[in-house]
Amino acid sequence: MKILVPVKRVIDYNLKPRIKADGSGVDLANVKMSMNPFDEIAVEEAIRLKEKGAASEIVAVSIGPAKAQETLRTALAMGADRAILIETETQVEPLAVAKLLKAIVDEEAPGLVVMGKQAIDDDSNQTGQMLAALWGRGQGTFASAVAIDGDHVSVTREVDGGLETVKLALPAVVTTDLRLNEPRYASLPNIMKAKSKPLAVKKPEDYGVDITPRLTTLKVVEPPVRKAGEMVASVDELVAKLKAKGVVA
Ligand code: AMP
């Protein structure tokens, strides 16, 4: 079985995003970019399924600028077998990404697509669901455990009340939650080996998909600055202050 793993190049999760002075978006000039953390978890899960003998090939795919090749090389260094970059400088919205992924799915016929539940830059949490709908296949979102069972996959999902397990007929789409696994670091020999793994570069036009954005960003602003706290010496003082402010009667 082939597993397709879409990976997005995003601002590194350790960085505090800076908003552009004109409020048009996040400033990405000279900023460290990395693989979306949920996608690292997806790559790790695909590798574990391959190690267990449930998968035979892992194909990583990214839609983004030429530099997204670095993100794909990271996936290859972790253990993916080959990669596809659909190169574009346009910011691609979830529906366009889902349509491009559907075109790749038609070409590659994977048994499973494992992808992040959300990209930490746009926080959309839409692409996996849209891909499953366009493909007409089942979806197991927010997975905290994945097990292949013949021609089905069992996905344990983190829902409000606890854990829900669903069984989906393959092929299907699985989106990863944080507790699914802890992604491995690529070893130096594997980073070297990844340089010679196949990486195909395509364009959105090759798949006949219109990626023109449909949304207009009106404004991006910094979150309000938190006011400094106040130290109190005793519970009585705290209660007195809360009463004075009308927070408690
Ligand atoms: P989103 O719906 O934007 O929050 O993204 C959910 C998931 O879709 C991500 O974790 C990725 O696995 C995938 N994805 C979104 N955008 C891209 C992209 N440009 N290239 C590859 N995968 C993407």
d(CA 223, CA 230): 21
Per residue of the chain (249 residues), give pLDDT as tens.
999 999 999 999 999 999 999 999 999 999 999 999 999 999 999 999 999 999 999 999 999 999 999 999 999 999 999 999 999 999 999 999 999 999 999 999 999 999 999 999 999 999 999 999 999 999 999 999 999 999 999 999 988 889 999 999 999 999 999 999 999 999 999 999 999 999 999 999 999 999 999 999 999 998 888 888 889 999 999 999 999 999 888
Look up residue 59 and give its two tokens. 């194909």
* pTM given for the model: 0.91
* Residue among 137, 67, 124, 57 at smallest CA distance from 97: 124
Residue whose Cα lies nearest atom 19 of ligand 1: it is: 63
Tell me, what amino acid is at 118? Q
pLDDT of residue 137: 98
Look up residue 128 and give its two tokens. 């996996």
* Residue 86 alpha carbon to ligand 1 centre in Å: 13
pLDDT of residue 96: 98
SS3 label, residue 9: strand
pLDDT of residue 90: 93
Q: What is the atom index within ligand 1 of the atom nearest the CA of 131?
A: 8
Question: Containing H/E element for 101?
Answer: helix 94-108
Does residue 175 contact residue 117 with C-beta atoms inside 8 Å?
yes
pLDDT of residue 105: 98
d(CA 112, CA 22): 42
Residue whose Cα lies nearest atom 16 of ligand 1: it is: 8
* Residue 63 alpha carbon to ligand 1 centre in Å: 9
Superfamily of domain 2-244: HUPs (3.40.50.620)
Look up residue 150 and give its two tokens. 């013949």
d(CA 173, CA 18): 33
Residue whose Cα lies nearest atom 8 of ligand 1: it is: 127
With tokens 């007195």, the residue in question is: 240
Distance of CA 105 to the CA centre of its chain: 18
Q: In sequence order, which ranges of 79-183 are alpha helices (DSSP H)?
A: 94-108, 127-135
d(CA 90, CA 9): 13
Distances (CA, A) of 194 to 31, 59, 84, 85, 187: 24, 13, 14, 15, 10
Mutate to test the pocket of ligand 1, among 4, 74, 115 (most ligand atoms within 8 A of CB): 115
Ligand 1 environment, Cβ below 6 A: 6-8, 36, 38-39, 62-64, 92, 94, 97, 115-116, 118-119, 122, 124-128
Mutate to test the pocket of ligand 1, among 127, 129, 177 (most ligand atoms within 8 A of CB): 127
* Residue among 192, 26, 179, 40 at smallest CA distance from 114: 40
d(CA 17, CA 232): 33
